[in-house]
Structure 1
Amino acid sequence: MNDAWGLYANEYLTSLRAAGRRPLTVRLHAHYLRLLADHTGDPRTITLQVLERALSRPDWAPETRKSARSVFAGFCRWMHGMGYLEADPSRMLRPVRVPPGQARPIPEAVLERALGLADERERLILLLGAHGGLRAGEIATVHTRDLVDDVLYVTGKGGKTRLVPLVDDELVHAIRRARGWLFPGRTDGHLSAGHVSVLMSRLLPDHWTAHTLRHRAGTRAYAGTRDLLAVGAFLGHSKPETTQRYVQLPQDALRAVARAAAA
């Protein structure tokens, strides 16, 4: 990123911090702006064509492309509002279509094997993901002050706080003993979300990722309650449509439907 980009990008990122955006969000915006900077030497020359070239990377998944589009649009709106751009070229960007996702809960046998290989810290990380449904960034920032009795106050996307009851005594005792960050590190005193993801990925084989632990939590929670709204609150979703992508329909429900259809 050259000096011209650095000047405007830093001013924009400062505006995000001033608006109370979370550090993880600010870092995500900075990441995508660096990629956009590869397509034009000066942000004051951003055009629709520049944005479309930046978004046309063949290696991006639809969700990644949608996230990048959101960042580019936010930056262009800010540039236009500040008078640095005569018009906002992002207004002409086509929406990014994201195919409906399917839940991919990690199999119990794979999870148990990973727990058996994990050290104490890694075990706590896996349990927070698989049993608590926490995202990597939320796991990284677990702090003793956020635990009240056996309920963990979790600040997730958009700075929204949700309550996650912890039924694992192992987790409750570990958080209390920590007397601060559960996972100390170099990112504001705690581990980074990226490092948490790396630790989990080392223990999980093949295509099973840290996020499939959240899918496992959502699927098991729904199987035990059949309450999609409660599962959504547990996972920190604002829309039930999002929760549906985290829940694999229980086999007994499918069999009941099949029996009813054949009756």
Structure 2
Amino acid sequence: MITAPWIQAIDQFCIAQRSAGLRETSIRARREHLQHLARRVDVGPWEVTKHILVQYTGSQSWMPETRRGRRSTFAEFWKWGKRFGYVDRSPVKALPKVKATKGKARPIPEPLYRQSLARADDRTGLMLRLAHDAGMRRGEIAVVHSRDLAEDLLGWSLLVHGKGGKLRVVPLTRRLALDLRALGEGYAFPGAIDGHLSARRVGELAIDVLPDGWTIHKLRHSFGTRALKESGGNVLIVQELMGHASADTTRIYTEIDPDDVRAVVDSAYDKSVNAGLTPKLRLLEGVA
């Protein structure tokens, strides 16, 4: 149960965040972070000590990136509280900083993806395809709107509302464009939150049809890996398509095909070693 002091503090904090121009999706996420904490401590927001906060975070089975996100929320919350005179010092300083982890691409195998599509209804199947065929995040899928569809001389594209309010244009396959246009005007996935489904709900619907251990975000890995291969290894193109601020982030989402690695080795060998062989030795090398 969330007590009145917590409700009031969280509401006021969210208003301040909105005043600072933070996106509604980010405000909603920070609200959920603070509500999770509020339900698990026995004191009000301004009585939370560093010991209580460390005990709370240490008892959670979170992945490193989740811990980074929660720490960021808590830091902003108590910074705001200190600025407005609700508290003298922030307990967040006692929390150890969590280093960013260098992830590894884990694209979902195509047979598993096809099986998932077969299990999905039309709505969930469209969500899966937006992740798999356009590389979109679940939060981006949730807010797809008819007004963001546009046609040019080459086909249809979608204006994607990415993280941090960043926009990018993603070309759509003919099938995706046709199915999105057939939905008519408005949000592609209507819901109760500002007229559309939440990012969390999109993820839940995908998990219902994906095999155990797989999430819709792994379909984004699949897109990144395929896009890298089809672009001839051009990381900058893939970075643009996926909306990454850094090419280093893009590399995390892309898996190098082992066949391509072997082909590079063989080609390098052929061009360097065979160049110095006599016709007779070259013939023997081919037999070997």
SS in 2 for 1:164: strand
Aligned ranges 1:28-107 → 2 under 5 Å: 28-37=29-38, 38-107=40-109
Q: Deviations over 1:114-164 (max 9, x none)?
A: 222333222211110101111111111111100111111111111111111
- TM-score, with length taken from structure 2: 0.84
Query: Which residue in the other structure is 1:157 paired with?
Result: 163
Structure 2: state its 5+ residue gaps. Answer: 274-288
CA contact (8 A) 1:5 1:41 kept: no
CA contact (8 A) 2:108 2:222 kept: yes
Number of residues of Structure 1 aligned to a counterpart in Structure 2: 262
Instruction: Quote the Cα distance in structure 1 between the aligned partners of 2:180 and 2:255.
Output: 30
Structure 1: state its 5+ residue gaps. Answer: none
Instruction: Quote the Cα distance in structure 1 between the aligned partners of 2:243 and 2:142.
Output: 16
CA contact (8 A) 1:185 1:191 kept: yes
Q: Does 1:18 align with 2:19?
A: yes
Identity between Structure 1 and Structure 2 (%)? 39
SS in 2 for 1:186: strand
Instruction: Quote the Cα distance in structure 1 between the aligned partners of 2:79 and 2:59.
Output: 23
Q: Does 1:211 align with 2:217?
A: yes
Alpha-carbon distance, 1:261 to partner: 8.1
Greater relative contact order (CA < 8 Å, ≥ 6 in sequence): 1
Alpha-carbon distance, 1:256 to partner: 4.0
SS in 2 for 1:131: helix
Query: Which residue in the other structure is 2:128 paired with?
Result: 126
Instruction: Quote the Cα distance in structure 1 between the aligned partners of 2:74 and 2:42.
Output: 13
Instruction: Quote the Cα distance in structure 1 between the aligned partners of 2:150 and 2:202.
Output: 24
- 1:175 paired residue among 164, 175, 180: 180
Query: What is the RMSD of the two structures over their aligned residues, measured on CA atoms?
Result: 2.0
Larger displacement relative to structure 2 (77-86 or 112-121) = 112-121
Instruction: Quote the Cα distance in structure 2 between the aligned partners of 1:52 and 1:229.
Output: 40
Alpha-carbon distance, 1:40 to partner: 4.9
Alpha-carbon distance, 1:34 to partner: 1.7
Q: Does 1:253 align with 2:254?
A: no
Q: Does 1:185 align with 2:186?
A: no
CA contact (8 A) 2:54 2:94 kept: no
Indicate the structure (1 or 2) with the bigger Cα radius of gyration: 2
Instruction: Quote the Cα distance in structure 2 between the aligned partners of 1:261 and 1:28.
Output: 52
- TM-score, with length taken from structure 1: 0.92
